[in-house]
Structure 1
Amino acid sequence: MSKAQKNFLSGAIILTVANALVKVIGAIYKIPLANLIGTVGMNYYNDAYQIYSLLYVLSTAGVPVAIAKMVSESIVRRRLEEPKKILKISTGLFAAIGILLAALMVINVEPISRLLSNDTANYCISMIAPAIFLVAVSSTIKGYFQGYKCMTPTAVYQVIEAAFKLVGLGIVVAMGHRGVTDPMILACGGVLGVSFGSFAATLFMLIRVLMEHDLGKDTAGSLPSRSGAALAKIILSLAIPISLSSAVMSVTSTLDMFLVKWNLGEYGLAPEQVRATYGAYVGATSSLFNLPPTLTVTVGIAVLPFLTAAFASGKYNDGYKNMRSSAKLVSLIAMPCALGMSVMSEPIVKLLYSASYWEVSIPTLRVLAISIFFVSFVSLTSVFLQSVGRVKTALMTMGVGAVMKLTVNIIMVRNIGIMGAPIGTFACYTSITLLNVYFIYKYMGFRFPLTDTFFKPIVCSALCCGAAYAVWRLLMAAGLSLKIAFFPALLAALVVYACCLLFFRVLSKEDMVLIPKGEKLGAFLAKKGWIHE
């Protein structure tokens, strides 16, 4: 394994482990919050969070990628003094944009609430507005570190942000003890956690970058840096298309929120039923669906600077190796999550959420979970295209997917109710994945290894999920409770999945290097014929 490939995979693992911890903390925050504020409260929470997400994506979603790409290219091209200049310019630029958008959000809170058909959501929206400015500042610093292939600050940032969100849960619990039952007021407490988390995490990033003295200190033989105006122009030319690419899906989700609610009314639900149904869908189904992709997205974050450096210096074989490794890693995480969450949707929802969520969330999760694999690959394949400057191509494929999602949702939701929403999501991300794979071959000449990337993970995942379902059903039939029956089923899935990976020789000796004592273990397993060279 080359040093660059090993560094990439190490960075990917750091971010993946951090995201796993973030998801555990997030579950501690979001699941009790959903049960405390109920389906109607989650509707308020989601309305505010959806507007925040849209403005965040429009302002700064493309910033870390753009800054990381520029820093990495500056280092490769020996402009060694340029990265710090990029950081200063981008931080000032996007801090101003963040302040402007946060102010606009607060000033226009009442029209936004009316647009959401949720007049009392204005309090929740106001409380989440400061987070837009905070993430705008932190996004430039994250990109700076990522450009140096230093993933630890981003990982720590994510953990701090998630941990301080728990402040919001504490506020909700405290209000509950004081007898507060209004779902809107309780939702405001939950929303405050988002702003607290952003503040604490941004403060960490500012301290971290101010104390950093090692990165970029060796500037001997540096070529002249480009002018500030030229760098600002490049930053915007990279960040805006990437942000727009991300914004396509965020805008789509916002439009989807309006359309799904409206079409649920057309389907025949009363306004209060619409709020409760949609609240259950976003509070449980969507929350569970979003867990695995947040783990796999870190692979794309980690691989981008390596791909940029490899292709900028003409080392295409190194780039292709990293693409194969990252695709396999994403598939090995996403495929069992997709099939497992679909097959085990009933025990998962019943274990985590109160009975008010079950009727909507169990069947919708069963369908929506299949899209986890495609969402994960959309994120990764978009990074592949961005690494060779095909940002507009990624934007175009996102646009096609957005049109698919909105069209299918309009047709399906009014005819079959909330079950139409996950079908629209599946149509969206499947189409984007297929288009991205086509354009990657067209522009990069890269073919995904179908056996290691798709076929073997599907077989291994199907067998482990079948084992989990069988064990769960047997234990339930024996009279055990849901909680007792679920965890042996989960253990069975893990054991079967590990055995299948060895039996089908999915892993290689290079993959094993990432594990502690992995070189010796890899040599032993290769000798047994359980992994390939």
Structure 2
Amino acid sequence: MDKINENKTHSFMGNVAIILFAQIMVKVLGLIYRMVITNIDGFGDAGNGFYNAGFQVYTVLLAISSVGIPNAIAKMVAERTALGDHRSAHRIFKTAFLLFAVIGFVCSAVLYLGADFIAIHIVNMDGAQYVMRALAPSIFFVCVSSVIRGYFQGLSDMKATSLSQMLEQVFKSGLTIALVVLTVGSMPAIMMFLTRITMFYSEASGASSTPPEIMAAWANAASSIATMISFAYLAVYYLRRRKGIEKQLRLSSAPELKASTGRLMKAILMLSVPISLASIITAVNRVVDLATITRGIEAAFSAMIPARDGMAAILSPTAEQLNDEAVALSGMLSKSDTLFNMPLALNIAFATVLVPSIAGALAKGDRKEASDKTSYSFLISILLVLPCAIGYIVMAQPIYNIIYPAASSGADLLAIMSVSLIFSALTQTLTGALQGIGKVYVPAIGILAGCVCKVILNLTLIRIPSINIYGAAISSIVCQLVAFLVNFFVLIHYIPLRLTLGKYVLKPLAAGLIMGGAAFVIYRLLFTLMGGSGYLVNLAASLIAIAAAAVIYITLVLIFRILSRDDILLLPAGGKILRFLTKLGLYS
């Protein structure tokens, strides 16, 4: 029995490792292309503002149409395969594919045809419609791709998800940079032609240089192309495994589901919609957030736009000047999103694998396995994200100077947002566990409560001239804290988690604070000794400080014995790691 449990654990952690590697690659590539395009002449904070506005609206329709698909399909497939019913598992896949192909097409059409109304009347940012039209086709391809990913996740095959995500991001990164570079100055004739006929951009003919909204649109057109390529890969991946799948279907002897196609579609929607609900609420909140930011900034600076980035203050600004300021400040805030999402990419691996893993365990009545995996994932989430958050707080400006040298303003927004990073990551893990035990509405209720608090704070804080855009960062902390508390207290009611204050809070916090202090001192000392100015000096001082901080943090985690021998053995290559640490005398 112990051998069986050990194999389950290693399978769980093996799947985590696959997703983890894919997420790291995806986010690193995403960081690279956002870094490059932000520093391209003409893009800057304004380009980021349009990029973010169009992307947030796209995310709403994407959440409605596809976000819950992988976890919902994975859960249903895992439950049937755990019982040996491979025929029903495959039938679920085929039914879901047809259902979400239709939903994806409708949502793509809504975004493409409704872009003008949404940009002008909802988000209050004329120009964002071009970004929305560029993104519209990708909704369909993400939908059908998500069904395939969910099917293989339910079979505990994480390669389809990880490889397709990496492939998509590689093409997205390369194409984004290439297409934005081509728009600098005067666009090639073919791009000008496509801009007019696909994005309905009628002003391009009179422009001497490409405006930032069109640069942002072409940056997002790369996303649509990349999702097409990713779907093609997944289709081939499935077809190459078709013979093995058909063999399983022939050998399947378990009783099948007797539900009709209509009832099966209803069952899929009943599961995927609640799972999507938290993401839908989050996405809608981001659009509301954007709308309150643009209107709040215009209200805050209606009498005067203060001096910023070497530009003089503007007294009695016009509506156009207020809109430009709102676009720039929202773009400044969105720059922190790329860095904010990096640690979450590490953490999402556990949340992704938790859903089918816990569902399978509970289907067999093994509550201890579900509790153990959730508790362990919670601990790893804390150990992964806490140092990242503290590191961002103390190193925000040096990091911005490295990544956005041509548009380095707004680092203090990242420092403030980093506090919410901790709660956001833990909410991810709790969401995966709650979905696994079937409490799919709880994450939605939690994030809804948080979003209501955020909107109220936005409406109050952003309009205050001395706070302005910082109000959005402050409200994000409250939003994520509320969502975390709701999810946490509901989960511990159903799954008894083995959490202790010292191991899960005090020791990690002490290690993180010492690490953060060391990083700050090392950076300031090196930066001063090496001359105190220049890109390369900042780069060298930052990299050395971050590397030293990582070593210090890992050492403190081991010295404080936050991870037990059993915890280390659960890690990928845990046996080798433990033997090495034993030789060093850190474990006996």
Q: TM-score range by the shorter chain?
A: over 0.9
1:164 to 167, 171, 194: 171
2:385·2:422 contact (CA, 8 Å) conserved in 1?
A: yes
Give the Cα separation in 2 of the matches to 1:521 and 1:155.
Answer: 25
Give the Cα separation in 2 of the matches to 1:220 and 1:312.
Answer: 18
The normalised TM-score by structure 1 is 0.95
Structure 1 residues 86 and 501 mapped into 2: Cα distance closer, same or farther (>3 Å)? same
2:391 to 313, 334, 340: 340
2:288 to 245, 251, 255: 255
Give the Cα separation in 1 of the matches to 2:518 and 2:111.
Answer: 49
Question: Is 1:132 aligned with 2:136?
Answer: no
Indicate the residue corresponding to 1:461 in structure 2: 512
Give the Cα separation in 2 of the matches to 1:453 and 1:150.
Answer: 31
Give the Cα separation in 2 of the matches to 1:217 and 1:370.
Answer: 51
Give the C-alpha shift of residue 479 in structure 1. Answer: 3.2
Question: Is 1:197 aligned with 2:249?
Answer: no
Percent identity (aligned): 29
Question: Is 1:411 aligned with 2:441?
Answer: no
Spell out the pairing of 1:105-254 with structure 2 (5 A cutoff): 105-115=111-121, 116-165=123-172, 166-176=174-184, 178=186, 180-212=209-241, 213-215=243-245, 217-218=247-248, 219-227=251-259, 228-254=261-287
Structure 1 residues 150 and 266 mapped into 2: Cα distance closer, same or farther (>3 Å)? same
Give the Cα separation in 1 of the matches to 2:69 and 2:79.
Answer: 15
Give the C-alpha shift of residue 355 in structure 1. Answer: 4.7
2:26·2:169 contact (CA, 8 Å) conserved in 1?
A: yes
After superposing the two structures, state which structure 1 stretch, 415-424 or 171-180, moved more. 171-180
Give the C-alpha shift of residue 455 in structure 1. Answer: 2.5
Give the C-alpha shift of residue 515 in structure 1. Answer: 5.9
Indicate the residue corresponding to 1:59 in structure 2: 65
Q: Deviations over 1:360-406 (max 9, x none)?
A: x1111111111111111111101111111111222211111111111
Structure 1 residues 155 and 517 mapped into 2: Cα distance closer, same or farther (>3 Å)? closer
Give the Cα separation in 2 of the matches to 1:60 and 1:308.
Answer: 20
Indicate the residue corresponding to 1:530 in structure 2: 586
In structure 2, give the amino acid aligned to 1:373: I
Give the Cα separation in 1 of the matches to 2:375 and 2:35.
Answer: 35
1:58·1:243 contact (CA, 8 Å) conserved in 2?
A: yes
Indicate the residue corresponding to 2:91 in structure 1: 85
Give the C-alpha shift of residue 225 in structure 1. Answer: 2.9
1:42·1:280 contact (CA, 8 Å) conserved in 2?
A: yes
1:509·1:523 contact (CA, 8 Å) conserved in 2?
A: no
Give the Cα separation in 1 of the matches to 2:412 and 2:221.
Answer: 31
Structure 1 residues 320 and 462 mapped into 2: Cα distance closer, same or farther (>3 Å)? same
Indicate the residue corresponding to 1:519 in structure 2: 575
Give the Cα separation in 2 of the matches to 1:510 and 1:197.
Answer: 41
2:354·2:436 contact (CA, 8 Å) conserved in 1?
A: no
Spell out the pairing of 1:14-93 with structure 2 (5 A cutoff): 14-36=18-40, 37-93=43-99
In structure 2, give the amino acid aligned to 1:363: D
Give the Cα separation in 1 of the matches to 2:587 and 2:228.
Answer: 46
In structure 2, give the amino acid aligned to 1:378: T
Give the Cα separation in 1 of the matches to 2:488 and 2:573.
Answer: 35
Give the Cα separation in 1 of the matches to 2:113 and 2:415.
Answer: 41
Give the Cα separation in 1 of the matches to 2:451 and 2:458.
Answer: 11
1:80·1:216 contact (CA, 8 Å) conserved in 2?
A: no
Give the Cα separation in 1 of the matches to 2:442 and 2:353.
Answer: 21
Question: Is 1:274 aligned with 2:326?
Answer: yes
2:142·2:231 contact (CA, 8 Å) conserved in 1?
A: yes
Give the Cα separation in 1 of the matches to 2:340 and 2:577.
Answer: 34
Question: Is 1:440 aligned with 2:440?
Answer: no
In structure 1, give the amino acid aligned to 2:277: L
2:104·2:139 contact (CA, 8 Å) conserved in 1?
A: yes
SS in 2 for 1:370: helix
In structure 1, give the amino acid aligned to 2:282: M
Structure 1 residues 508 and 214 mapped into 2: Cα distance closer, same or farther (>3 Å)? farther
Q: Deviations over 1:187-234 (max 9, x none)?
A: 122111111121111111111111114357333422123332332121
Indicate the residue corresponding to 2:451 in structure 1: 402
Structure 1 or 2, whichever has the larger Rg, is 2
Q: Unaligned stretches of 5+ in structure 1?
A: none
2:419 to 370, 376, 383: 370
Give the Cα separation in 1 of the matches to 2:292 and 2:587.
Answer: 49
Give the Cα separation in 2 of the matches to 1:515 and 1:381.
Answer: 20
Q: Unaligned stretches of 5+ in structure 2?
A: 188-208, 306-321, 532-536
SS in 1 for 2:293: helix
2:185·2:210 contact (CA, 8 Å) conserved in 1?
A: no
1:169·1:189 contact (CA, 8 Å) conserved in 2?
A: no
Indicate the residue corresponding to 1:477 in structure 2: 528
1:83·1:216 contact (CA, 8 Å) conserved in 2?
A: no
In structure 1, give the amino acid aligned to 2:428: S
Give the Cα separation in 1 of the matches to 2:552 and 2:354.
Answer: 29
SS in 2 for 1:119: coil
2:371·2:495 contact (CA, 8 Å) conserved in 1?
A: no
Give the C-alpha shift of residue 529 in structure 1. Answer: 6.0
Give the C-alpha shift of residue 118 in structure 1. Answer: 2.7
The normalised TM-score by structure 2 is 0.86
2:350·2:377 contact (CA, 8 Å) conserved in 1?
A: yes
Give the Cα separation in 1 of the matches to 2:580 and 2:50.
Answer: 55
Give the C-alpha shift of residue 346 in structure 1. Answer: 1.1
1:5·1:321 contact (CA, 8 Å) conserved in 2?
A: no
After superposing the two structures, state which structure 1 stretch, 296-305 or 181-190, moved more. 181-190
Question: What is the count of residue pairs matched by the alignment?
Answer: 529
2:45·2:328 contact (CA, 8 Å) conserved in 1?
A: yes
Give the C-alpha shift of residue 417 in structure 1. Answer: 0.8
SS in 2 for 1:304: helix
Q: Please, what is the CA RMSD of the aligned residues?
A: 1.9
Indicate the residue corresponding to 1:353 in structure 2: 404
Structure 1 residues 517 and 258 mapped into 2: Cα distance closer, same or farther (>3 Å)? closer
Structure 1 residues 517 and 150 mapped into 2: Cα distance closer, same or farther (>3 Å)? closer
Question: Is 1:297 aligned with 2:303?
Answer: no
Give the C-alpha shift of residue 109 in structure 1. Answer: 2.0
After superposing the two structures, state which structure 1 stretch, 516-525 or 394-403, moved more. 516-525
1:413·1:420 contact (CA, 8 Å) conserved in 2?
A: yes
Give the Cα separation in 2 of the matches to 1:167 and 1:518.
Answer: 38
After superposing the two structures, state which structure 1 stretch, 250-259 or 395-404, moved more. 395-404
Q: Deviations over 1:155-177 (max 9, x none)?
A: 11111111111202101112226
